[in-house]
Structure 1
């Protein structure tokens, strides 16, 4: 045990144990999920056999191409057949990872059959998503289903209407067929809650899939869904996509409707929470983003939207000229692992070979610590009272420990801890964050807002005005996916994504490579002194255990530059087309043995 772990272990804190009432609720909810997963299908005996070659072809096709093939009336390319293939893959993914929460297979099959009947009768596709299976993070309301987000108190409370976002997707012919797991409070980057349990990384059991859109990432990365929708206030779209191996886009605030979704911190607007798409390729991200932003009716149906419709010409424009890109691999706060540094360096090398200018930035100009301090200072303004108020009788998840530690401490203990960290252990970073993490009065919150505004101006001025970059490339996180249960005292590891929420940048996450034992061994010199916290983080890095895990990079753009960032993500994706680690629709399934039925070994009843 490190000195820091030993120190905080004696502080007043208790995870507590589950009550009998909670245990019954969780058991009943999981049984309900199981029944909906298998029972309603009334499937023939051969339904749960291994995927056929044709089904793997369906699962390996991007969304826009699927719609095209349905419209061409290609044999067997129907909404029903496509959905059945994705249901098989989703069940396989769930058995392997525990990624699903609410199951809609029965109603989805009925909807797909109705789409097929309508198309057979009229010859007209319903829309740009005709027959596309789509999954949603658990917090999005679907009429008749819970949005419990892993809290027992919100089970058995079905939504009275479907959220605006899902309505829009279904207007274009999408078939929403499942919702996916999240961490307790949505403020952790593992994926576990007491009601639904832990979601595993699809590439390696025992490692986390990330959070808070973790179930969504695990399902997509397993080829169990075509397109997914998640949310992000500190990295919740990007971290799970990085850990699990899929694509995501964090838009700026105001571009995608949020009416009709359960949030854990209502009324909080200091750091903008956003909704964004997740997918298995950039083209599918762009398709989802286009549909969710090009309907003026959204402005009447949802609050807080800006009147900015999708601009596809900006995607094209960013792919037709040499780009000026900034990059860094070390933010001077937490040293990125060799695998995560290599992901950036090799991407830069490939971009330069294609004629793009890549410039290593002066990362001191970003002052990352100040950005993270602002994130912590504003996020903890109510002492995390609101997000913890939902927990009720549920056990407290360990991943929330360090995040919520500061406000839990009496003021004198927080002062003593910060003093010991700063002067005794020379841990100035942790000292500043512990001091910032506390409940604040209204006047003090306003002072933090002023700090945020000044910081936002500083970063934007440097990157987009002074340097005139088209985008910035950097690690999504300092580590690949980490072991389940390892982040309870390492939540600051998410600092690499916090920064871009503070300045409300558009950010894409692109999976580019996988951890390789030979290439990615640590080469930290013995004379490099690491602080206690950073050493604890670096001790997580085990290249042999992590071999084969995905590694992504962030593509950071300016405010409301979603289309431009999508274009640059497309270029990055193209740079890696010759890689054996290529991430695209069907790549996960094809990496497994075609005849392996292990993922479908599930009892039809308990």
Structure 2
């Protein structure tokens, strides 16, 4: 008889926790403390050098320091292993731990440098954390489901192999929600992952473990995946940067899902991309990846050129509402501040409308709900596991293939193609008398980071997956007391808007105080380099504008 999920969960957690050395364990954890980002500096586990490594270097800077001999790869990986161990104890962000192998890898890289006088590759000595679904040989990719917890990968994913060939160090895999199906990270297998900026808030999903680990500085560069906001949402919740690229740029071969093999949500493709504490590191990741020629290793990746000359003055389209959800007052105020900051810096900001967006959102929902759920429920039932409360609230139920699913799929994919044409003309071709846009800015969501399991909907994020545009999150600031005094002036746009407005009811509103907010930047399909250039420019402006400077709990830029 198959083991029950309770037994599997207890065993997997015990194995994971046993891999944290006793000397890296916290003496105590204060349950009343909601911002835990300062604990690594206070607990005494990290040396002064390890604090310096984990707090004062970007990913690119670590690689440069190791290449120069300023840092040793072994010292770097030990520092991040220790900090990841602390992060796990405080936020429950890890699934698989391979600290011993990582330290041995660091020692090998130091020997290689001493013997050859040059780095192994462009990622030499850099620890990289991976979302649980990205396969590493000998470890499970459970994606938050107990029935998958003991299925070990027999080979590396293409992405993991490329990282290792370039000299990187793999040391942890990070939590996802059950089946990677939620915008908060909670599963019965691993438990709930906490937001280290405020442990009562949503950490985001489905790449929530990466969000928590990076916010704790237990990683300097993490890899996630995104089908409807799964990179951008955790980045927004945790005050980070995250970029969803155009499809067929970053290898996904060897990344696990709960989908029926070959069924990629009928027209919405999941992509892999980076999360980091600086926009510079996200951009640098794509530059390094291009140099590794991933199209030679994954047949789904097309050859491309990332590097694009940066523009000093941007033409920016500001989409204040998507026509599905009216943003809550703090988000509206934040967008106004972003507008003023960019205008004051000499950029052209134009408020735009995208009337096609609501129809595109309905098409997106149609494609997602066309996907049968039997595979998910079969896995769950094999161990007696139930869907988590967020999925129950979502209304996820068992369903097989509809008799007319193929016809519905054709209709929806045709609708997707029509939306792509309209988006192209509205945003990028524009016609006479209108400036060509370099980038579109909009919210990541209609609300700031909410309480646990409070994320209201994917509308602002998921439609960019439908049309396959690159998009990323840029942290802006946190919610203030003044923000809480504002009321919603616009009439409701419907049931999705009503769900968003419910978060602004008096009994919930105060929970937003101090909650992170981010702006989403969207680029033209295939112009990932131009998008990252624009995000860097926008971020530099926002970091220097008084009204949008992040509060102390957000990253130091």
**TM-score, normalised on structure 1?**
0.81
Distance 1:148 1:162 in 2: 15
**CA separation of 1:126 and 1:460: change in aligned 2, threshold 3 A:** same
Give the secondary-structure state (helix, strand or coil) at the position aligned to 2:243: strand
1:227–1:278 Cα contact (<8 Å) kept? yes
User: Aligned runs of 1:173-188 on 2, under 5 Å?
Assistant: 173-188=167-182
1:384–1:404 Cα contact (<8 Å) kept? no
CA-to-partner distance for each residue in 1:4-49, whole Å, 9 max, x for gaps? xxxxxxxxxxxxxxx9721111100110111123369899xx9972
Give the aligned partner of residue 294 of structure 1.
291
Give the aligned partner of residue 6 of structure 2.
23
Distance 1:475 1:438 in 2: 35
Give the secondary-structure state (helix, strand or coil) at the position aligned to 1:228: strand
* Alignment of 1:477 onto 2:441: no
Distance 1:566 1:28 in 2: 42
User: Aligned runs of 1:5-16 on 2, under 5 Å?
Assistant: none
Give the aligned partner of residue 556 of structure 1.
522
* Alignment of 1:152 onto 2:138: no
CA-to-partner distance for each residue in 1:142-162, whole Å, 9 max, x for gaps? 111111111111122211111
Distance 1:373 1:528 in 2: 20
Give the secondary-structure state (helix, strand or coil) at the position aligned to 1:318: coil
**CA separation of 1:235 and 1:533: change in aligned 2, threshold 3 A:** closer
Give the aligned partner of residue 65 of structure 2.
69
Q: Displacement, 1:583?
A: 6.4
Distance 1:579 1:96 in 2: 33
**CA separation of 1:444 and 1:42: change in aligned 2, threshold 3 A:** closer
Distance 1:299 1:567 in 2: 23
**CA separation of 1:195 and 1:343: change in aligned 2, threshold 3 A:** same
Give the aligned partner of residue 595 of structure 1.
none
**CA separation of 1:408 and 1:264: change in aligned 2, threshold 3 A:** closer
User: Aligned runs of 1:103-182 on 2, under 5 Å?
Assistant: 103-182=97-176
**CA separation of 1:110 and 1:439: change in aligned 2, threshold 3 A:** farther
Tell me: higher relative CO, structure 1 or 2? Use CA pairs within 8 A at least 6 residues apart: 1
Give the secondary-structure state (helix, strand or coil) at the position aligned to 2:172: strand
* Alignment of 1:49 onto 2:44: yes
Q: Displacement, 1:582?
A: 5.3
* Alignment of 1:216 onto 2:210: yes
CA-to-partner distance for each residue in 1:357-399, whole Å, 9 max, x for gaps? 1100023x2x322111111111111343344443232121122
Give the aligned partner of residue 35 of structure 2.
none
Instruction: Determine which of 470, 473, 495 is the counterpart of 1:509.
Output: 473
Query: How many residue pairs are counted as aligned between the two chains?
Result: 528
Instruction: Determine which of 379, 389, 398 is the counterpart of 1:390.
Output: 379
Give the aligned partner of residue 534 of structure 2.
568
* Alignment of 1:251 onto 2:245: yes
Q: Displacement, 1:589?
A: 8.3
Give the secondary-structure state (helix, strand or coil) at the position aligned to 2:170: strand
CA-to-partner distance for each residue in 1:182-228, whole Å, 9 max, x for gaps? 01121211111110011111111122101011111111122110100
Distance 2:541 2:16 in 1: 41
1:41–1:105 Cα contact (<8 Å) kept? no
Give the aligned partner of residue 267 of structure 1.
262
**CA separation of 1:160 and 1:399: change in aligned 2, threshold 3 A:** same
Distance 1:401 1:438 in 2: 21
Bigger mean CA deviation after superposition, 154-163 or 114-123: 114-123
Give the aligned partner of residue 359 of structure 2.
370
1:343–1:475 Cα contact (<8 Å) kept? no
Q: Displacement, 1:544?
A: 3.3
Give the aligned partner of residue 453 of structure 1.
417
User: Aligned runs of 1:175-574 on 2, under 5 Å?
Assistant: 175-265=169-259, 266-269=261-264, 270-296=267-293, 298-308=294-304, 310-312=305-307, 314=308, 317-319=309-311, 321-363=312-354, 365=355, 367-392=356-381, 393-405=384-396, 440-466=404-430, 468-487=436-455, 490=456, 493-525=457-489, 528=491, 534-541=497-504, 542-574=508-540
Distance 1:229 1:205 in 2: 22
Give the aligned partner of residue 34 of structure 2.
none
Q: Displacement, 1:457?
A: 0.9
Give the secondary-structure state (helix, strand or coil) at the position aligned to 2:477: strand
Distance 1:523 1:403 in 2: 27
Give the secondary-structure state (helix, strand or coil) at the position aligned to 1:145: coil
**TM-score, normalised on structure 2?**
0.88
**CA separation of 1:40 and 1:518: change in aligned 2, threshold 3 A:** closer
Distance 2:549 2:234 in 1: 18
Give the secondary-structure state (helix, strand or coil) at the position aligned to 1:201: coil
Q: Displacement, 1:520?
A: 4.7
Give the aligned partner of residue 29 of structure 2.
none
2:324–2:493 Cα contact (<8 Å) kept? no
Distance 1:590 1:306 in 2: 36
Distance 1:399 1:348 in 2: 34
**CA separation of 1:576 and 1:42: change in aligned 2, threshold 3 A:** closer
**CA separation of 1:168 and 1:445: change in aligned 2, threshold 3 A:** same
RMSD: 2.8
Distance 1:383 1:71 in 2: 50
Q: Displacement, 1:545?
A: 2.4
2:23–2:45 Cα contact (<8 Å) kept? no
Distance 2:491 2:185 in 1: 33
The unaligned stretches of length 5 or more in structure 2 are: 27-39
Give the secondary-structure state (helix, strand or coil) at the position aligned to 2:336: helix
Give the secondary-structure state (helix, strand or coil) at the position aligned to 2:14: helix
The unaligned stretches of length 5 or more in structure 1 are: 1-18, 410-436, 592-606
**CA separation of 1:257 and 1:213: change in aligned 2, threshold 3 A:** same
Distance 1:92 1:590 in 2: 20
Q: Displacement, 1:530?
A: 7.3
**CA separation of 1:550 and 1:439: change in aligned 2, threshold 3 A:** farther
Distance 1:472 1:455 in 2: 17
* Alignment of 1:95 onto 2:89: yes
Give the secondary-structure state (helix, strand or coil) at the position aligned to 2:380: coil
